[in-house]
Amino acid sequence: MRILLAEDDPNISIIAKLSLEKLGGFEVTAVNDGEQALAAALTQLYDLILLDEMMPKMNGLKVCQEYKSRCPAPRPVIFLSAKSQEADLREFTENGVGFISKPFDPTQLATQIEAILASAA
């Protein structure tokens, strides 16, 4: 599975990328801001987009909305965020297929993604 990981915190990005590649067996492309995420999502083929909500240049929700409006066959989007208010969670589930809260357990990240995708299918 090819995953686009959009995360502006370099430490979280490295941990998530290593976890997904080494434990999940996924191929991961990491970007660090919303504009890069949108450009990559529109020009490359990914099986999943994993979006941080709070990023520079464009937040995750805006990236997701722009991507879905401009892509004829959008791939699933899962939000990765420390935001956990009810309104935030509602926006994540209305715009994406799921949500993983930060901090996350790196040993469980791939399993969480697979469970979200299975429940969305």
Residue 38: predicted pLDDT? 97
Lowest mean pLDDT among 20-29, 35-44, 75-84, 109-118: 75-84
Q: In what order do the strands lie in the sheet with 98-101?
A: 27-31, 2-6, 48-52, 77-81, 98-101
Mean pLDDT, the chain, whole residue set: 93
Asked if the 2-120 domain carries CATH number 3.40.1350.10, the reply is: no
State what percent of residues in the chain have pLDDT above 70.
100
Where helices occur in 24-85 by DSSP H, the ranges are 34-43, 60-70
Residue ranges per structural domain of the chain: 2-120
Average pLDDT over residues 14-38: 97
Confidence of residue 117 (pLDDT cuts 50, 70, 90): very high
